[in-house]
Amino acid sequence: MLFFALFDPIELIAAFDPDLEAGREAGYAIGFFFFWILAAFCSGVTAWLVRTAPKRDQRHR
């Protein structure tokens, strides 16, 4: 929400590909899925790091 309060999706799409004709709703949809995938990736990395961390009891032995 804060990202799109500062940046207009039409201007962002035009910055990457000036020939692409996409509406504002398409820009919001692309942004939503980008941030959704980013959050899922960050959550997955966090879960992986927690699983692969050494156990507390194994450190002291």
- Is the pTM for the entire model greater than 0.85? no
Nearest to 27 by CA among 7, 53, 57: 7
Helix 9-16 vs helix 24-52: angle between axes, to the nearest 10 degrees?
80
Q: Which residue has the higher pLDDT, 31 or 45?
A: 45
- What is the C-alpha to C-alpha distance for residues 20 and 45, in angstroms, rounded to an integer? 34
Sequence ranges of the domains in the chain = 2-54
Give the per-residue pLDDT at 59: 60
